[in-house]
A and B are shown apart, each in its own frame.
Chain A
Amino acid sequence: MPSVTFEHVTKRFGDATVIEDFDLQVADGELLVLVGGSGSGKSTILRMLAGLETVTSGRIRIDDRDVTDLAPRDRDVAMVFQDYGLYPHMTVRDNLSLGLRLRKIPRHEIDRRVAWAAGMLGLEPLLDRKPKALSGGQRQRVAMGRAMVREPKVFLFDEPLSNLDAGLRAQMRIEIGSLQDRLKTTTVYVTHDQVEAMTLGDRIVVLADGRIQQIGRPIELYRTPVNRFVAGFIGTPAMNFIEGTLAADGGRMFFSAEAARLKMRAGTAESSEPITLGIRPEDLRMDFIPQQPTHGSADFDTLTGRVVLVERLGGTSHVHFQVGPHRLMASVASDSLPEVGHDITAHVPAARVHLFGGDGRAIGRTAEIV
């Protein structure tokens, strides 16, 4: 039985339609991540589920109970906010227990739950402090504890890590993941950070302009993006794109663009529309010694370019290079790197190439799912 169901949910603010005809089912115990840029409507969806925004039309159900018109307090959901939303004038203990006190939960039960959450999150020594005296990570934990003590049907996270520095963010990400593993509470998690989405989500929903672009397991989104938006959004560093056309030549399909001609996988359909070729930086293999010019290469599986920038990240490095008018990037091991200004060839495995039509939709399935 699905834990959360959106049915044809639409949200308008005045004349602006933010969410249109949104359908979604979240399975019981699942951690579902809503990811998208700003203005994609991800937070609005979460706030509608929480009851903090009204729904213009459509229904929302939690465990088959229609909660569309219920107040937030009656929905059995708990939420963790981006800026934590802790009451600054109350101690950690009061912040944790307030929601329970307001629900008239017996004192001993409140104490038990506060102790349980504090133990789980390492908050015991902080219970009598006020939020002002806590670090960002500690505040984040208190906010999570406040949601946990409620023992709700559904957890909602609204960009909970975006106010933390990079190191702490990585650590809290792991904590949230393992916490959800232990609690097995259905969770809807909103973020703009696709790394969070990839690492945390059982499934990911990619949103743009209030519409679902793709739903799937993280690896599905990475390997078989259904459109150019998802391809560019999921994966770090972002996918390279080259605009061009497809044409048949001697029984094989070739992708042609200025300064680039690449042989496509067998079975690629012909298309007269403009085509965007996508290739992930980690799928490019690089040789430093200039071989034959691309057009002369018998296999038509390489691009020739000049290195314009090398970003050394440690184990791997990002090599930016220019192929005609196209700026591309390859993610390679740092053992032996080209210098800026050197010519290189980049091997483009046909099986790893993604093709997108004029409307941005993926054409065929060029990469075998391994």
Chain B
Amino acid sequence: MKLLRRIALYAGLTVAAITFIYPFLWMASSTFKPPVEVGSLALIPHDFTLDNYRTMWARAPFGRALVNSTFVATTITLAVLVFGSMTAYAMARLNFRGRPALNAATIAVLMVPGQLTLIPLYTLIVQLGWVDTYAALIVPYLFNATAILMLRQFFLQIPQSLIDSARMDGMSEPRILFTIFWPLSKPVLSIVAIFTFMGAWNEVLWPLLVVREQNLMTLPQLLTVFALGGGAGSVGVSLASAMVLVVPVVAAYAFLQRNFIESMAGSGIKG
């Protein structure tokens, strides 16, 4: 009876897993199929080909877009981690006038939908003369209220005696943050990093507004322009460009996921 239930459970989970993973695998394999094969549901290409990637690369500057996207998403992620944890540290562990107001303001920022600020932000960028620059893609994302609140919540749990010890040892506040808090905050830093990176990497609407020059376009932007503009020509080429978009995020996730587990298991501060 117990065994049967176990089998049923595993069967159910397997079906669910396949439902999620199959479309992804199909997309991956279809990028290696010639046009005639793309319609088939098989996961192994009959005639393996790299033509889809060659066509894609030839028709639009995807290489350049990949570099742009990597640069923009990495810069944003690092900035959110550094500035976000500095803000969170101050909000969680320093006493200063106006701290409750700052907390409230940070939470209030979360309640404003991004679409609402899109037009004013765009106007601002135009007035600053930042259209068609990296600054337009990066600067609006340097601070992230969600990240600040997540980090703050985690920082609140770190024992006060660690801060006290570090101060007695002669550390400055930034040093306490980066050499004591950061190593202890790997789980939350990883989570913030991956969400920020994915958000920045997948952003389409904002780049479409502020960047028109092809050389500055990010990958999803170029992909949208390319696919919607009919530049791809075939399904295989569209999928190949989508693949280029997805792989770095999956890789980043796989890399950081190991880190999550490691630091969750190793974060014994007391005991």
Chain A-chain B contacts (Cβ-Cβ < 8 Å), number = 58
The CA of A146 and the CA of B159, in the complex, are separated in Å by 18
Select one of A81, A98, A99, A132 contacting B271, CB under 8 A. Answer: A132
Neighbouring A residues of B271 by C-beta, 8 Å:
132
User: Are B269 and A98 neighbours in the complex by a CB distance under 8 Å?
Assistant: no
Q: Does A168 sit at the interface, judged by CB under 8 A?
A: no
Neighbouring B residues of A77 by C-beta, 8 Å:
168
Contact mask A61-104 → B, CB, 8 Å, 1/0? Answer: 00000000001110001110111111111000000001100110
Neighbouring B residues of A73 by C-beta, 8 Å:
167-171
User: Are B168 and A50 neighbours in the complex by a CB distance under 8 Å?
Assistant: yes
Q: Does A52 sit at the interface, judged by CB under 8 A?
A: yes
Contact mask B208-223 → A, CB, 8 Å, 1/0? Answer: 0000000000000000
The CA of A90 and the CA of B271, in the complex, are separated in Å by 16
Q: Does B164 sit at the interface, judged by CB under 8 A?
A: yes
Q: Does B180 sit at the interface, judged by CB under 8 A?
A: yes
The CA of A77 and the CA of B168, in the complex, are separated in Å by 8
Neighbouring A residues of B266 by C-beta, 8 Å:
132
The prevalent SS among residues of B at the interface is helix
| Chain A stretch 5-51: residues in CB contact (< 8 A) with chain B | 47, 50-51
Q: Which A positions have Cβ atoms within 8 angstroms of B?
A: 47, 50-52, 71-73, 77-79, 81-89, 98-99, 102-103, 132, 146
CB distance from A206 to the nearest CB of B (A): 25
* Known contacts A52-B164, A79-B164, A132-B271: A103-B159 contact under CB 8 Å: no
What are 25 A-B contacts defined by CB distance under 8 Å?
Answer: A47-B164, A51-B167, A52-B168, A71-B167, A73-B170, A73-B171, A78-B168, A79-B165, A81-B161, A81-B164, A81-B165, A82-B161, A85-B161, A85-B162, A86-B165, A87-B165, A88-B184, A88-B267, A89-B183, A89-B184, A99-B168, A99-B170, A102-B170, A132-B266, A146-B165
Neighbouring A residues of B167 by C-beta, 8 Å:
51-52, 71-73
User: Are B161 and A83 neighbours in the complex by a CB distance under 8 Å?
Assistant: yes
Neighbouring B residues of A103 by C-beta, 8 Å:
170
Q: Does B270 sit at the interface, judged by CB under 8 A?
A: yes
Neighbouring A residues of B170 by C-beta, 8 Å:
72-73, 99, 102-103
Chain A residue at minimum C-beta to C-beta distance from B170: A73
Neighbouring B residues of A79 by C-beta, 8 Å:
164-165, 168
User: Are B169 and A102 neighbours in the complex by a CB distance under 8 Å?
Assistant: yes
CB distance from A355 to the nearest CB of B (A): 43
Select one of B162, B171, B180, B268 contacting A132, CB under 8 A. Answer: B268
Select one of B159, B168, B270 contacting A72, CB under 8 A. Answer: B168
Give the size of the chain B interface in residues (CB under 8 angstroms): 20
* Known contacts A81-B164, A87-B162: A99-B169 contact under CB 8 Å: yes
| Chain B stretch 97-129: residues in CB contact (< 8 A) with chain A | none
| Chain B stretch 223-271: residues in CB contact (< 8 A) with chain A | 266-271
Neighbouring B residues of A89 by C-beta, 8 Å:
183-184
Q: Which B positions have Cβ atoms within 8 angstroms of A?
A: 159, 161-162, 164-171, 180, 183-184, 266-271
CB distance from A4 to the nearest CB of B (A): 16
Neighbouring B residues of A81 by C-beta, 8 Å:
161, 164-165
CB distance from A131 to the nearest CB of B (A): 9
Chain A residue at minimum C-beta to C-beta distance from B164: A52
Chain A residue at minimum C-beta to C-beta distance from B186: A89
In the complex, the 4 A-B pairs of residues with the closest C-beta atoms, listed nearest first = A85-B161, A73-B170, A85-B165, A99-B169
Chain A residue at minimum C-beta to C-beta distance from B162: A85
Select one of A51, A52, A82, A98 contacting B169, CB under 8 A. Answer: A98
Chain A residue at minimum C-beta to C-beta distance from B158: A88
The CA of A258 and the CA of B30, in the complex, are separated in Å by 98
User: Are A84 and B164 neighbours in the complex by a CB distance under 8 Å?
Assistant: no
Neighbouring A residues of B180 by C-beta, 8 Å:
87
CB distance from B184 to the nearest CB of A (A): 6
Pick the most buried of B162, B168, B183, B267: most chain A CB atoms within 10 A of its CB.
Answer: B168
CB distance from B32 to the nearest CB of A (A): 44
CB distance from B151 to the nearest CB of A (A): 17
Pick the most buried of A73, A86, A88: most chain B CB atoms within 10 A of its CB.
Answer: A88
Neighbouring B residues of A51 by C-beta, 8 Å:
167
Neighbouring B residues of A82 by C-beta, 8 Å:
161
Chain A residue at minimum C-beta to C-beta distance from B267: A88
The CA of A186 and the CA of B169, in the complex, are separated in Å by 19
Neighbouring A residues of B268 by C-beta, 8 Å:
88, 132
Pick the most buried of A79, A85, A98: most chain B CB atoms within 10 A of its CB.
Answer: A85
The CA of A82 and the CA of B270, in the complex, are separated in Å by 12
The CA of A98 and the CA of B168, in the complex, are separated in Å by 11
CB distance from A13 to the nearest CB of B (A): 10
CB distance from B170 to the nearest CB of A (A): 4
Neighbouring A residues of B166 by C-beta, 8 Å:
87
CB distance from A102 to the nearest CB of B (A): 4
CB distance from B178 to the nearest CB of A (A): 12
